[in-house]
Structure 1
Amino acid sequence: MRHTLPIAPQFYVTAPQPCPYLEGRIERKLFTALQGEGADQLNNSLSQQGFRRSQNVLYRPSCTDCAACLSARIDVSAFSPTKSQKRAARRNAHLQRRATSPWATDDQYELFRRYLDTRHADGGMADMDVFEFAAMIEETPIRSRVVEYADPKTGNLIAVSLTDVLDDGLSMVYSFYDPNQPQSSLGTYMILDHIDIAREAGLPYVYLGYWVPGSPKMGYKVKFAGLEVYVKGGWQRVDDPEAFTDSTHHPLSTAPIAEQVANIQLPDRHPTKG
């Protein structure tokens, strides 16, 4: 009988390209494939180390001249809503939540296209067709859900979040919503609702992706109490956002790729059975 040893994840670096968040900067990502029987373990472990999932890839910024992108999550136990967040919750309390398996629909894609065309017409996803959209939703080797929000009176789909279920929280992989309702604060409401879902499930965190100080696109994340960011190998509470401005992250703070990979903690591929 032939025995094969488990293969450790291989890490790669993307080619440099213009940063979508800070003008004049160049971005580069460290990434690895998410596949096989250990996909859930790897996703859990690397998410806790600042990585994010995109389909069957896990990635983390690894820019040579900048360290502004900070992986962000909300500590559910430390969160309390602001007055404006309470108003957003009340404005959307009528919406009906539906959590389903990761399956793409025509209604989702139509909403997705309206959202992109209005909010991110010049973004990296602007040319995504229906097949690429379906791949984004459905190509997940781990435990994922599509959380939909609909108007019960009309049945119209209002907002959608592709959400991963981690051992220690919920990770909002990608969210989009009706761009014609700016007064409803739908993006804020989806985060608030995910905080409620996590609390009900006994999960301590809601992962939001990256907060980029100095980028207006990412400024909303720092408005949530209990926000933590992954800095220098650990999670730190953002009590004072000014302490995490881009100027505090010198280019030389980015370690060489080999050192970054060596410091990544991989999950135990042979857990002890009780």
Structure 2
Amino acid sequence: MSAPVRFPRFFVTNPAPCPYLPGKTERKVFTELNGAHATELNEALGRIGFRRSQNVAYRPSCIDCKACVPVRILTGGFQPNATQRKILKRNSDLQGSACRPWSTNEQYELLRRYLKQRHPEGGMADMDDMDYADMVEQTPVHSHVVEYRLPARYGAQGELIGACITDQQSDGLSMVYSFYDAEAEGRPGLGNFIIMDHIMRARAAGLPFVYLGYWVDGAARMQYKTRYRPLEKLSPDGWVDFESGEQADLFS
């Protein structure tokens, strides 16, 4: 008699240049997400630091580096600081909606602008529209694209200026990938607004966490994740507080 759930097989990638820390190499361990139990597997792996990309769950498995640390926001305790309140007020007119995981030309063009503005030399810079469609649509779990639009005018749909591919789990929202118009007039901090909107969406749904992926010790472009409190990090002893002192040190 066969077992109802087969234990997943894990694989390890070859070492490659680290995209976050110069001079370092990265290696990942990964497994496929497929079959009737893909959602349960994705959630179980997410709680031990894995992230999803299409139908694959992965996490860093570097031989000589532990800089990548999974972090998640506790939605019930979050209180925006003065700067965050200004960002919320500035963008309070945006219309956010959770859409089915189906790619559109409008989303892809926004992604292209975002990559050109923020990550022109990054590994995603050469993505074409089919690559983006795979990124959005090849999902074996409960996923959606949260769109952020300017207010409608004269009955026409407002311009798309932000989006986030988001997985809904039983304990929270996992922000798979967000992108936005980083040069939108009068809207600095749009990426931060998207995170706070996810906190409010999770809280309204009674979900305790928003999973932000990896905080990378030593990578300046990943430090924004520590601005959201209370924050937890995954340690060898499980999820623990990301100490407020640690966060203060990062911005002193």
Please tell me the TM-score bracket, short chain as reference. over 0.9
Q: Which amino acid aligns with 1:159?
A: G
CA contact (8 A) 1:49 1:233 kept: no
Aligned counterparts of 1:16 and 1:65: Cα–Cα separation in 2: 11
* DSSP 3-state at the match of 1:59: strand
Change (3 A) 1:214 1:109: same
Whole-angstrom distance in 2 between the partners of 1:96 and 1:123: 29
Q: Which residue of 1 is the match for residue 54 of structure 2?
A: 55
Corresponding position of 1:20: 19
Report how many residues are paired.
244
AA of the residue aligned to 1:199: R
Residue 240 of structure 1 and its aligned partner are, at CA, apart by 3.7
Paired residues of 2:226 and 2:247 also in contact (CA < 8 A): no
Q: Report the secondary structure of 2:202's partner residue.
A: helix
Q: Determine if contact 2:73/2:211 at 8 Å carries over to the other structure.
A: yes
Alignment of 1:213 onto 2:217: yes
| Counterpart AA for 1:8 | F
- SS of the aligned residue for 2:225 comes to helix
1:4-45 deviations in whole A, cap 9, x for unaligned? Answer: 433210011111001111111111111110110000100111
**Conservation of the 8 A alpha-carbon contact between 1:92 and 1:184:** no
Which runs of structure 1 show a deviation greater than 3 angstroms over 4 or more consecutive aligned residues? Answer: 3-6, 240-245
Report what 1:135 is aligned to. 134
* Percent of aligned pairs sharing the same letter: 51
1:151 CA drift (Å): 0.4
Is 1:85 equivalent to 2:84 in the alignment? yes
SS of aligned partner of 1:184: coil
How much does 1:206 deviate?
0.2
What secondary structure, in the 3-state scheme, does the structure 2 residue paired with 1:15 have?
A: coil
1:179 alignment partner, one of 157, 169, 182: 182
Letter in 1 for 2:10: F
Mind listing any 5+ residue stretches in structure 2 that lack a counterpart? none
Q: TM-score scaled by structure 2?
A: 0.93
Residues 147/104 of structure 1: CA separation in 2 closer, same or farther (3 Å cut)? same
Q: Is the 8 A contact 2:149 2:160 kept in 1?
A: yes
When residues 21 and 106 of structure 1 are mapped into structure 2, their CA distance, relative to the original with a 3 A threshold, is same
Gaps of 5+ in 1: 246-274
For normalisation by structure 1, the TM-score amounts to: 0.85
CA–CA separation in structure 1 for the residues paired with 2:212 and 2:166 = 10
